[in-house]
Amino acid sequence: MTKEQQGLENLSIWNDAASMLAKAKKDGVETVWDRLHEQRNECAFCAQGLSCSKCVMGPCRINMKGDKRQHGVCGADADLTVARNFGRFVAAGAASHSDHGRDVLDTFAAVAEGKTKDFQIRDEAKLRRIASELGLASEGQPIDAVARALADKFYQDYSSRSERLSFLSRVPEKRRTRWAELGVTPRGIDREVVEMMHRTHMGVDCDATNICLHAVRTALADGWGGSMIATELSDILFGTPRPTASKVNLGVLRKDMVNVLVHGHSPVVSETILAAAKDQDILAEAAKAGAIGINIAGLCCTGNEVLMRQGIPLAGNHLMTELALITGAVELMVVDYQCIMPSLVRIAACYHTRFVSTQDKAKFPGATHVPFTHENARDKAREVLRMAIEAYTKRKPERVEIPGQPVDIMTGFSNEAVLEALGGTPQPLIDAIKAGSVRGVVGIVGCNNPKLTHDYCHTNLAKELIKRDILVVVTGCATVAMGKAGLLTPAGAEQAGQGLASVCKALGIPPVLHVGSCVDNARILHLCAILANALGVDMSDLPVAASAPEWYSEKAAAIGLYAVACGIYTHLGLPPHITGSKTVTDLALNGLEDVIGASFAVEPDPFKAAELIDKRISTKRTALGLTP
Ligand code: MSK
């Protein structure tokens, strides 16, 4: 390894990443780290949330040093400028999850109304269970009637007609009362997002704290609305996850197969690609092209969706998406939306790789656009696979380098699967928490960020927590890190403390449970509500926490905020762009504690973060009368 390569190794903790970074240099391909380097003189105003370009009297920068230019042209001070920026940041994240949820809902409604043959209801029992839970007639009713009624109910949740989201019935009463007192009970999902855009227009809401409270409401509309609808309907349409074995890292790509990467967030396109890849005529075409089959692998959250439900291997997380193409082994990348770096189109063009977009709301210049609808999904999936097979014939073997061997993982821990493993009730988990063999539960969620060494914080934080008998549940891009570190198999329990290891051994589960994609953080909310309701306490009383150690996205900000609003202490590896306002920063780090029962903590060092989280869990355990 050359000196230069050793330097590249510091960008990521993984050998597969280091090999591909070296190949990128050799192939003359620019990556996200190169671009970050070019952008290194970042604007201090933007970093602190103190710049505003929301109107054309500006743009403005609020200078916090000295006594000149303390206000924007409209008169907004630092607090208001930061709050407006942050409010829109959270609204964009909530909108992204929720619009994804709406697309799943549209697919579900199309099935209910008999408008598509390409999708079916795979979990009828879950459909009927949720319909009953939400007060709809189910027993003895035809399945399409139940589905239509549920679709109507969820469409109402998106609208202004909703006074309170349907899934708020899952929230412990004490928490609902607190939200009502604060005026943050989420109403219609779209309404909260639109209201945030309105409030942050010049001359509307000029009170930073009031804007932040609406950010809370908007985030809650995501967690208990858009995201929860996405998760529950995806289970109904594509199957509720059950524990399944799979594999992770770039080694899941195959030299002898047509490699297709599915990337983005929604399972709707990727599920049809998977189904079409089993068509005998398509497989025969692949064989004719000289491949032994079609290998579908996932990236980011689309990868998490098909991993959870179908056991499809996961090639990588956010910072691995470019590196996956640099293997030269990918015939085609098919994307839906969110977290798809525009650079991927350029990188694909450096190889024989086809880049296919599928959503009219997410087009990529230079890509081949194949618009998927409910009516044509299967045909379009076959068309895309044929493109991949054709690309396979153009693959240049001398440019192919697939690094390393894949690592085994276990996935599929939906709440249904967890409760089933516990004998149908949360009581064994509650007993383990009371006994201290599981001292608490922490959700590690979210992205990668090139400002931090790739996956260093994820893996070290998880290892520190499980050592302290704290069970970890993981979603999103953090999943890949946990899998590569060997924490997603039962054998990973060897790295856990004695108590947690004994529980894992008894149940045959890993010390880190994979519970899904970004929208599936709704599963964690639901599990916390189930535990709190079983104990008769508020969610803020539970020995639980959340962490997004390497986050980058607006969606992660919405997730963090709804977690805090649910009373869940939330660690972030990096601060959002709010540090220019003392009021907003104090509110996030301290002020919310009194009003909502939780707060954020910012700590880039995973070992120190583990200390903070451990201390919090000890405090909550003591308050419940348990040993710390
Ligand atoms: S994909 S939001 S980089 S987790 Fe959900 Fe990964 Fe974060 Fe996108």
- What are the tokens at 466? 């499980």
> Is the beta carbon of 553 within 6 A of some atom in ligand 1?
yes
Closest to 246 in 3D by CA, of 75, 478, 413 = 413
For ligand 1, what atom is nearest to the CA of residue 339? Answer: 8
> Is the beta carbon of 555 within 6 A of some atom in ligand 1?
yes
Cα–chain-centroid distance for residue 123? 23
Ligand 1 centroid to 261 CA: how many Å? 16
Q: Give residue 520's pLDDT.
A: 98
Q: Give residue 112's pLDDT.
A: 98
Select from 262, 301, 319, 517 the residue to mutate for testing ligand 1; criterion: most ligand atoms less than 8 Å from CB.
Answer: 301
74 is in an annotated binding site: yes
> Is the beta carbon of 304 within 6 A of some atom in ligand 1?
no
206 is in an annotated binding site: no
> For the CA atoms of 563, 567, 571, 575, what is the dihedral angle to 10 degrees?
70
> Is the beta carbon of 548 within 6 A of some atom in ligand 1?
no
DSSP 8-state symbol, 515: E
> Is the beta carbon of 588 within 6 A of some atom in ligand 1?
no
Q: Give residue 3's pLDDT.
A: 39
Select from 222, 317, 447 the residue to mutate for testing ligand 1; criterion: most ligand atoms less than 8 Å from CB.
Answer: 447
Residue 556: CA count within 13 A, CB half-sphere: 29
Contacts for 67 with CB less than 8 Å, ≥ 6 apart: none
Distances (CA, A) of 502 to 324, 418, 527, 543, 583: 37, 17, 22, 19, 46
Round to the nearest angstrom and report the end-to-end CA distance of the chain.
Answer: 47
Beta-sheet pairing, 368-369 with 60-61: unpaired
> Is the beta carbon of 557 within 6 A of some atom in ligand 1?
no
For ligand 1, what atom is nearest to the CA of residue 556? Answer: 2
Cα–chain-centroid distance for residue 174? 27
Q: What residues are paired with 544 via a beta bridge? A: 441
Q: Give residue 127's pLDDT.
A: 98
Contacts for 540 with CB less than 8 Å, ≥ 6 apart: 175, 566, 567, 568, 596, 597, 598
Q: Are 153 and 136 in contact (CB under 8 A)?
A: yes
Contacts for 536 with CB less than 8 Å, ≥ 6 apart: none
> Is the beta carbon of 258 within 6 A of some atom in ligand 1?
no
User: Which stretches of the chain score pLDDT less than 50?
Assistant: 1-6
504 is in an annotated binding site: no
Task: For the chain, list the domains and their CATH numbers.
Answer: 78-162+170-238 (1.20.1270.30), 250-399 (3.40.50.2030), 410-624 (3.40.50.2030)
265 is in an annotated binding site: yes
Measured by CA distance, the residue closest to atom 7 of ligand 1 is: 447
Q: Are 511 and 487 in contact (CB under 8 A)?
A: yes
Q: Give residue 1's pLDDT.
A: 39
- What are the tokens at 485? 């570190």
The b-or-e profile of 306-340 (16+ CB within 10 A means b, else e) is bbbbbbbbbbbbbbbbbbbbbbbbbbbbbbbbbbb
Q: Is the pTM of this model over 0.75?
A: yes
> Is the beta carbon of 253 within 6 A of some atom in ligand 1?
no
Q: Give residue 603's pLDDT.
A: 98
Ligand 1 centroid to 94 CA: how many Å? 13
Select from 555, 559, 572, 574 the residue to mutate for testing ligand 1; criterion: most ligand atoms less than 8 Å from CB.
Answer: 555
Select from 270, 306, 318 the residue to mutate for testing ligand 1; criterion: most ligand atoms less than 8 Å from CB.
Answer: 318
